[in-house]
Amino acid sequence: MLAECAPNVHPETMAAVISAESRGNRFAIADAGPKHLPWSQRKSMVRSFYLPTVDDAIAKAQELISQGHTVSLGPAQINDRQLPRLGLSIEDVFDSCTNLRAGGQILGECYSRASKLHGPGHRALRAALSCYNSGDMARGEKEGYVDLVYSQRGKDLVLRTSGKAMSANTGNKAAGRQTMAASNQPWWKGAKPRAFTMSSQGFSVGVGE
One pLDDT digit (tens) per residue for the chain, 209 residues? 888 898 888 888 899 999 999 999 999 999 999 999 998 888 888 999 999 999 999 999 999 999 999 999 999 999 999 999 999 999 999 999 999 999 999 999 999 999 999 988 889 999 999 999 999 999 999 999 999 999 988 777 666 664 344 334 433 322 222 233 344 433 333 333 322 222 233 444 543 33
Contacts of 135 (CB under 8 A, 6+ apart): none
How far apart CA 205 and CA 207 sit, in angstroms, is 7
Tell me the three state secondary structure of residue 138. coil
Rounded CA separation 209/207 (Å): 6
Cα(180)–Cα(96) distance, integer angstroms: 18
What integer pLDDT is reported at residue 172 of this predicted model? 31
Q: What is the pLDDT of residue 20?
A: 94
